[in-house]
Amino acid sequence: MGWFAWLRIGCLVACMAIAVVVLTRAIRLTWPALIASFAARPARSAAPARLGALGIALIGILIYLGIARPGWLQFGLLGATIGAIDVLAVATIRRHPGGRGTMIWVLAVSLVGMLASLALWSPGQADANRYIMEGRQILAGQNPYAIPPEAAEARALVPAEVAGEVNHPSWTAIYPPIALLYHAAVAAIAPEPFLFCLSAIAGMILLFALTLHLLKEMRLEPAHLVAIAWHPVLFIFIIGGAHQDMLMAVLLVGALAAAASGKISGSVLGGAAAILVKPFAVVCLPLLLHRIPKRYWILPPAVVLAVYVPWIDAGDGVVRSLLRFGEGHYHAVIAPVIRYAVRPLSAGGAEPTLVTLILCGVLILGLYVAWRRSRSDLIARRAMRLLAVLMLCLPVLHPWYLFTLVALLPFSRGWGLLAWTAASPLAMLHGLGIRDGVWNEQWWVTMISHAPTLPLVLHEIFAQLPMHGVRSPEPSTACDVTPYGPHASKAG
């Protein structure tokens, strides 16, 4: 192995050591919030019995999906039913937050649901197979940004059944380096893609703890955790599908939790790490840099440059596949409308470029308006609005892309983003158009997935909404504009 390969191995070891330290500090940070979530609660109306019935129905549907393995139509509709259960559960919690028993039930149903979702795993999960192959390449000294999965030296590192089911085998690595190091850490255990399902459950436990801490800092009821704990994207795509978006959600929520606790460097480094898992998190970086000393602004670019150094022997390969992936279109919200509008005006193959330019313009304008309209809101809700604008403008929107947005739903005040993400399993109906193993987008599936909730989504992103679930009656406390949540004195 060359020295670049040893540098990548060293980066992996360093990141694993840092992860242990960060995990230890996260446990110390979130432990009080976990205790408070189960502590004796003030007298209030108990959550009605329908929360119990909804939890049982959710688990029943997941068990059925794992055992029966129904077709695409039934799978998509039952997945959307889980989304409806989540919406009803959130509505129940917003009216009756309940107490200790409610929290125990919410977490118990979520844990049982995640275990039941393991039955949804299929060895043909092309994304997880790519994760394992890229991880094994790093451990063998290969650079995944330079050697694609179809290369003989890469295929020799994994079992034949894994090598034969890899997403885009002719493409080199798509994701940024922290994601690849995560792949290597899991692949070091065994060349088994199913391990990503198990690591996702472990990551979700950490995400729940961080979310409870952030809810406590912002003086919101801990039972609002149900919005993510019972969400169909979690069960179907993160656990059952073994997608890695859980890691970006953990890092971003961790960055927001650090900001809420006044830990400036931790929040900025966490945001930079989230970007190095998936670039979507970049839209939230201004929230973490806003109103902090400018000397900390050097941290994100410094971290990005340092992490990319061990991979530069691949040249432009470190970004080639990522840019190529952005050229596609699938299940998008705004992009199909723009393509339809510009088609009569474009000629000579200029349509993709024109659509991209218009999408970028809409994204920048949307982010600016969302930023301005949310200046008096909590940092988690501001992050949720900015991420929602990005998701609306993506040319490719797979359901699991929404998970980082889902992770912030416990802080939501409206219904649009919750309903939109809850309907995401309807995207499975695109499976009705599979031809020769290739997923072909069905326009009517895209429409029923996005159109019914789009007005509510736009309203939640750009409008001022009433508060829900805030214990403190003082609006100034509940909506502090600093990135450190309601306890401004902790900002230092």
Q: For residue 232, is it within any domain?
A: yes
Query: Band of the pLDDT at 467, cuts 50, 70, 90?
Result: very low
Which of 187, 220, 239 delimits the end of a domain? 187
Could you tell me if residue 233 is inside a domain?
yes
Same domain membership, residue 204 and residue 182: no
Q: Is residue 325 part of a domain?
A: yes
- What pLDDT was estimated at residue 239? 95
488 pLDDT higher than 50: no
Do 322 and 285 fall within a single domain? yes
Residue 241 shares a structural domain with residue 368: yes
> Is 477 inside any structural domain?
no
Residue 475: inside a domain: no
User: CA 488, CA 53: separation in Å to the nearest integer?
Assistant: 40
- Separation CA 238–CA 245 (nearest Å): 7
Residues 440 and 351 reside in one and the same domain: yes
- Residue 41 pLDDT more than 60? no
- 405-460 pLDDT, tens digit each: 999 999 998 999 999 999 999 999 998 888 777 778 899 999 999 999 999 999 99
pLDDT in tens, 176-215: 999 999 999 999 998 899 999 999 999 999 999 999 988 8
Q: What is the pLDDT of residue 477?
A: 34
On whether both 297 and 421 belong to a single domain, the answer is: yes
43 and 30 in a common domain = yes
Could you give the number of structural domains in the chain?
A: 2
Considering the domain architecture, whether residues 165 and 306 belong to the same structural domain is answered as: no
- Checking if the pLDDT of 334 tops 60, the result is yes
Q: Does 384 have pLDDT greater than 60? A: yes
Residue 4 lies in a domain: no
> Do 114 and 132 share a domain, yes or no?
no
User: Does the residue 479 lie in any domain?
Assistant: no
Per residue in 140-152, pLDDT (tens digit) is 989 999 999 999 9
**Residue predicted with more confidence, 264 or 371:** 371
Q: Whole domain around residue 161: which residue ranges?
A: 125-187
Same-domain check for residues 359 and 232: yes
Mean pLDDT for the stretch of residues 98-122: 91
Residues 130 and 107 in one domain: no
Within this chain, do residues 136 and 264 fall inside the same structural domain, yes or no? no
Residue 475 in this model has a pLDDT that exceeds 60: no
pTM over 0.95: no
Of 420 and 218, more confident: 420
pLDDT computed for residue 341 by the predictor: 86
| Maximum Cα–Cα distance across the chain | 69
Last residue of a domain, one of 171, 187, 203: 187
Task: Kindly state whether residue 1 falls inside one of the protein's structural domains.
Answer: no
Boundary-marking domain end, from 187, 210, 226: 187
The answer on 156 and 31 residing in a single domain is: no
Spatial separation of the C-alpha atoms in residues 175 and 99, rounded to whole Å: 41
